[in-house]
Amino acid sequence: MSLLKRLDDDLKTAMKQREAGRVRLSVIRMAKAAIKNLQIDKGRELTEEEVLEVIAREMKLRRDTLPEFERANRPDKVEELKAEMAILEEYLPAQLDEAELKALVQAAVVKSGAQGPKEIGKVMALVMPQVKGRADGKLVNRIVNQTLAEKQ
């Protein structure tokens, strides 16, 4: 089943649940709106990969906003964001753990021949397409920096 079809089905289910599905309903509507906006911008239907990118971008927005609400001592907003992230996570592929990322980074370092932190771009260019939607870019960047720092 395509991701868009799944979103549509889950939207209908959330609408039927009324109060119990309110957060789910708002998150799915937001995701569908972001997808529709990108469709309008591109002037065509989106591929499955592009839909996944939109959902990953929405997840990243929430992940980046979370520390701000924690610093502002807004536990209500923190809980709301965590609930939204849990819903969005259902539509993303399984996330890679740190060990899997380190293995991918090691292989990319060997393949690119990078010798130090100044060559991070070479490694990131090889790793990011492989982990698209399956790992946070900040985590990948941190692992690549650690790996390259060890090579010096």
Q: Which residue matches tokens 């771009």?
A: 121
Are the beta carbons of 141 and 128 closer than 8 angstroms?
Answer: no
How much of the chain, in percent, has pLDDT values that exceed 70?
A: 99
Distance CA 136, CA 145 (A): 14
The confidence score (pLDDT) of residue 99 equals 87
pLDDT band at residue 28 using 50, 70 and 90 as cut-offs: very high
DSSP reduced 3-state for 109:
helix
Residues 129-140: tens digit of each pLDDT: 888 878 888 888
What pTM was computed for the model? 0.76
Residues 95-133: tens digit of each pLDDT: 888 888 888 888 888 888 888 788 888 888 888 888 887
Are the beta carbons of 74 and 81 closer than 8 angstroms?
Answer: no
Residues 75-100: tens digit of each pLDDT: 999 999 999 999 999 998 888 888 88
Structural domains of the chain sorted by starting position, each given as residue range(s) with its CATH number in brackets: 3-89 (1.10.1510.10), 98-151 (1.10.10.410)
Mean pLDDT on 57-72: 92
Give CA separation, 93 vs 69, 102, 105, in Å.
Answer: 27, 19, 19
The confidence score (pLDDT) of residue 149 equals 84
pLDDT band at residue 70 using 50, 70 and 90 as cut-offs: very high
